Amino acid sequence: MADLKLVLASNNPGKLMELQGMLAPLGIELVRQADLGIPEAEEPFRTFVENALAKARHAARTSGLPALADDAGLCVDAFGGLPGVDTAYYATQFGYEKGDGNNVKALLEQMRNVANRRAALVSTLVAVRSPDDPEPLIAIGRVAGEIAREPVGTGGFGFDPVMFIPAFCKTFAQMPVEVKNANSHRGQAARRMIELIREAWLTPAFAAAPLHCPPRGPKPPEGGQSKA
């Protein structure tokens, strides 16, 4: 299988590390857009898929390479699904500087007296072969859990220390990397993206199962030709 180089339309080192490991089975090399001098794209839309597509097209257009973008966020039930696409900048709404630690701090402050702790982490991956690719590959992963009352664990990034997963009785930050990647929203999306890339970009047409079409027209009777 030939190696494939993709520009990752993100400057988040945590995302780069996770996705590089998840996409390794395909021999994919991810290059962070910042390493190519590509500025971040604008994200004017209110859905993950629209923003991910905008970022992927921007990176492909600027680099001349295929691109992969991830738009992910936290959707809290008690906040009507917010912060959603504004997750990365959540803390700035409350006077804090942008950053994972401040995001967690602001979230816990806003949920101090909230009984409904249900939330979901959502990841939307979009890959394009070119900026004008009419057939972008789209993979979505979603994990539901609860917001913990305080940060627990030292692994991961983002909201991992407060994203409690009932099935494991742990936050994502408490899980070993391989366990988190196997069960996270980004892990789900990455596995689906691997399938899509393999099917759409890496599998030669008809290589897996050559077509055997039946002969056209009526079948001649046994022992002779069909009558006119």
Distance of CA 211 to the CA centre of its chain: 34
Residues acting as catalytic residues: 71
Within a domain: residue 119? yes
Q: What's the rounded Cα separation, in Å, for the pair 61 and 39?
A: 12
Within a domain: residue 191? yes
Q: How high is the pLDDT of residue 4?
A: 83
Q: What's the rounded Cα separation, in Å, for the pair 171 and 191?
A: 21
CATH of the domain at 127: 3.90.950.10
Q: What is the pLDDT of residues 184-212, one digit of tens each?
A: 999 999 999 999 999 999 876 544 455 56
Within a domain: residue 18? yes
Q: What's the rounded Cα separation, in Å, for the pair 92 and 184?
A: 26
Give this prediction's pTM: 0.83
Residues with Cβ < 8 Å from 108, sequence gap 6 or more?
Answer: 147, 149, 150, 151, 162
Q: Domain total for the chain?
A: 1
Amino acid present at 128: V
Q: How high is the pLDDT of residue 202?
A: 86
Instruction: Residue 171: give the domain boundaries.
Output: 4-202
Within a domain: residue 22? yes
Residues with Cβ < 8 Å from 54, sequence gap 6 or more?
Answer: 41, 42, 43, 44, 45, 69
Q: What is the pLDDT of residues 122-163, one digit of tens each?
A: 999 999 999 999 999 999 999 999 999 999 999 989 999 999
Within a domain: residue 220? no
CA dihedral for 9, 20, 101, 82, sign (positive or negative): positive
Q: Is 199 exposed, middle or buried (0-12, 13-18, 19+ CB in 10 A)?
A: exposed
Within a domain: residue 209? no
